[in-house]
Structure 1
């Protein structure tokens, strides 16, 4: 019965996104919600100017509706279900505001860094206080060992760092057609397996609802993309996967399963540090996916390679948690 619920959840979420797309994409075009492309980015990206963005709204609607309906069919939405939806919606709203400022108010940078950062911290702090009310454990398990680290009150800082960090990491990765859609589907699929292994079925249902939503979006986001998810989608997905890792007490396993997001973020950090300290760049351009583009790789080759690496990381993460 549960297997059927998981499969049906994925299918329903996929179909909702696919059915919403032919309605939403023309609507975004009529509103002129087109993406502005950075002039300093790869020249090949200039042709993407005007492609509808804010498509993450479709992903969010699909996740919310599917999660509530399917958890209701299976049992009843739990506190964990509502917390996951709160994080997803909270970061999604921040992303929506950022996108709205970019495409409607024509301010290409969207929210200021401080505004976005404060918003992310606010959502994260609320999550911490909700977890406190749930008497949630403040320990962090160390992979490859049987040890756990008790953080006590410092767990609040950890929660903020994890949610803010991974929401931004996924956001940085969202730079090529289909890149985040594919890597997110793989990462959330891995956590669906791990949540299932822990008998946390409501988290597994939420995870596959995300998988179905992003795969449905990928139908229209694969190269050449007809729509972009924007910060509305990428910030929400990053916050959601960090929240899943926290609720399953697999916080540090996320570093492995979300390895592509981590590497992309590190490439930006290293590039900035190198340029500010030595005046030299390590990569031709960061995040890392742009480096390979400038080496002459086609966009599709870069995306498929990163998907493959993401799949490898997901398998390793599952292996460590389930079999080691």
Structure 2
């Protein structure tokens, strides 16, 4: 794929998002459908109550349409792209249902954790089934042992990877522009890896998502006019995990997605510490709220987390390439 052709999926997805988003925002405002701020969240986030959400629907649809038409044009439509689009849309659908219930019932809880988890696991299992139909490798690099074909155990890894990172990005989506910016950087890193490997289908997929996210950022930057919602964050995390698997660079996500992991670990440590010792480690979890309560501005946290994601991604690219 020539470098000039790289602009096509970026511009297509960006244009669809940038044109459709004002219509979506206008519709939600007219219907008075806005996000309900979590009661346990920072008190200063109450001003965000009523802000339209589910903006992820727009950039997901833009990415889907763009990825398909560009792949057909480039003769790059493949089963690999198909399962990436499948997991993106399935996890997006789970998030959509979660967001929809919250909006319609005017509460801050949608689907139960068990319902979302079951849907994510089923999606991961189906991903692995198609992955094997495609004939892709079940080999995994294991430290101290080297690369080993672990057979059906790779399916368990796939499910764990997809579910884990979809939830990790979801936890990161707590400040204006935070999940959007970190996802743009992470998908850009994988676009470079895909281009280097000559996997045009995965490259197109990543570029289509990046273009949509850039368009979405204009409405999601502080002060956000709309949030991506679970429909966006769950899909983005699942998509990242799926791309790392298809490119056979699974462990790269530990560095490229390190911010997502830190956010998740902060919640796990906070909950574990409180249950075992009755004490909190952080002022509030996920960790971006800890920095807020420590006096950092929202923009400062977002910029620092973006910078760290860019640094981690550059280090990983230096290792791989």
TM range (shorter): over 0.9
State the shift of 1:146 in Å. Answer: 9.8
Find out whether 1:57 has 2:57 as its counterpart.
yes
State the number of aligned residues. Answer: 321
State the shift of 1:65 in Å. Answer: 0.9
* Corresponding residue of 2:40: 40
Find out whether 1:177 has 2:185 as its counterpart.
no
* Corresponding residue of 1:27: 27
* Corresponding residue of 1:140: 140
CA contact (8 A) 2:14 2:212 kept: yes
Unaligned runs of 5+ in 1: none
Find out whether 1:257 has 2:256 as its counterpart.
yes
Q: State the 4+ residue runs in structure 1 displaced beyond 4 angstroms.
A: none
**Deviations along 1:260-298, whole A, 9 cap, x unmatched?**
101100111111111111111111000010000000111
**Deviations along 1:152-189, whole A, 9 cap, x unmatched?**
11111101100000000000000000001100000000
CA contact (8 A) 2:36 2:107 kept: no
State the shift of 1:142 in Å. Answer: 5.0
Normalised to the residue count of structure 1, the TM-score between the two structures is: 0.96
State the shift of 1:147 in Å. Answer: 2.8
* Corresponding residue of 1:8: 8
* Corresponding residue of 1:74: 74
SS of the residue corresponding to residue 148 of structure 2 reads: strand
* Corresponding residue of 1:212: 211
State the shift of 1:115 in Å. Answer: 0.5
Residues in 2 aligned to 1:63 and 1:257: alpha-carbon distance in whole angstroms? 21
CA contact (8 A) 1:142 1:252 kept: no
Normalised to the residue count of structure 2, the TM-score between the two structures is: 0.97
Find out whether 1:189 has 2:188 as its counterpart.
yes
Residues in 2 aligned to 1:149 and 1:282: alpha-carbon distance in whole angstroms? 38
Residues in 2 aligned to 1:212 and 1:63: alpha-carbon distance in whole angstroms? 8
* Corresponding residue of 1:236: 235
Unaligned runs of 5+ in 2: none
State the shift of 1:218 in Å. Answer: 0.4
SS of the residue corresponding to residue 227 of structure 1 reads: coil
CA contact (8 A) 1:141 1:250 kept: no
* Corresponding residue of 1:128: 128
Residues in 1 aligned to 2:76 and 2:201: alpha-carbon distance in whole angstroms? 9
**Deviations along 1:113-162, whole A, 9 cap, x unmatched?**
1100001011111111111211221112358x993132211111101100
CA contact (8 A) 2:59 2:213 kept: yes
Residues in 1 aligned to 2:107 and 2:43: alpha-carbon distance in whole angstroms? 21
The range that moved more, 66-75 or 290-299, is 66-75
The range that moved more, 230-239 or 25-34, is 25-34
* Corresponding residue of 1:224: 223
* Corresponding residue of 1:313: 312
* Corresponding residue of 1:119: 119
The range that moved more, 6-15 or 312-321, is 6-15
Residues in 2 aligned to 1:125 and 1:113: alpha-carbon distance in whole angstroms? 18
